Structure 1
């Protein structure tokens, strides 16, 4: 079921960014696509790497933290390590930054282009252990599509 859903989302993401190189515009559309199509998600969006920190970019959901230091919280950890962070219970994550008290699980995918950190894709859920390997695989592919639009 999830595989089919991600197959559709990947196809839609490709269509949304096709022929468009503006990163902010593409991030805005991808965040809306994910927010409105993934079940049990209360925030979906991007943080951009600027001035040695993460700065809030296009998103859907409640207002969010504007700046996140590298290595801090789930987003800062993903950005610094350039690894996917799939956290079943954010309250157990050391240094978690609670931008929205309703969030209980989170997945963050680093965005890298030409070996340079661009930012992260961040998705939160009020459900514990909401994100699994299928989500990770699909979201990594969508992040890759976004980064490929910048080439």
Structure 2
């Protein structure tokens, strides 16, 4: 079933292994809390130089904190507010090199300096977002974005 990965030192191979591990974790599971919990734990174990990995779920016209790994976080985020709310409003991934330069950034963890947020869709509608913070400025590149979007696509295939 699931194995803890060994890093190969090749970013592409590592991400491809991560995606295989995600598919194994989600195989046959239908509970969305369980899916998102294991996905956040897997990413926290896989990614280096990150301090928060988790999900916000779209409920009643706002993002509500879902399964995550890291310090306590903001519980609710309004549409269009912060990086997460902007990802929902624009329906696109937000890759922010320096969160302190992002207008309206919501600082849940003062140690965060960069962030990537990938919107999640179910049946064409917004479901929520994958949010990852790092204490390193400019931590996430185009390569990370590509594979994290693929990671979310796999999750979307398991949502109702």
Q: Do they superpose with TM above 0.5?
A: yes
In the TM superposition, structure 1's runs of 4+ consecutive aligned residues that sit over 4 Å from their partners are: none
Q: Which residue of 1 aligns with 2:53?
A: 44
Q: Which residue of 2 aligns with 1:71?
A: 80
Q: Deviations over 1:66-118 (max 9, x none)?
A: 00001000000001111000000000000000000000000000001111100
Three-state SS of the structure 1 residue aligned to 2:56 is strand
Three-state SS of the structure 1 residue aligned to 2:48 is coil
What count of residue pairs does the alignment treat as equivalent?
151
What TM-score, normalized by structure 1, do the two folds share?
0.98
Task: Pick from 71, 88, 111 the counterpart of residue 62 of structure 1.
Answer: 71
Q: Name the CA distance, whole Å, in 2 between partners of 1:11 and 1:18.
A: 11
Q: Name the CA distance, whole Å, in 2 between partners of 1:9 and 1:23.
A: 19
- Matches of residues 88-103 of structure 1 in structure 2 within 5 Å? 88-103=97-112
Q: Which residue of 2 aligns with 1:14?
A: 23
Compare CA radii of gyration and give the structure with the larger one.
2
Shift of 1:122: 0.2
Consecutive unaligned residues in structure 1, runs of 5 or more:
none
What TM-score, normalized by structure 2, do the two folds share?
0.93
Shift of 1:2: 1.4
Shift of 1:59: 0.1
* Greater RCO (Cα-Cα under 8 Å, separation 6 or more): 1
- Matches of residues 81-92 of structure 1 in structure 2 within 5 Å? 81-92=90-101
Q: CA RMSD for the aligned pairs?
A: 0.7
Task: Pick from 86, 91, 113 the counterpart of residue 104 of structure 1.
Answer: 113
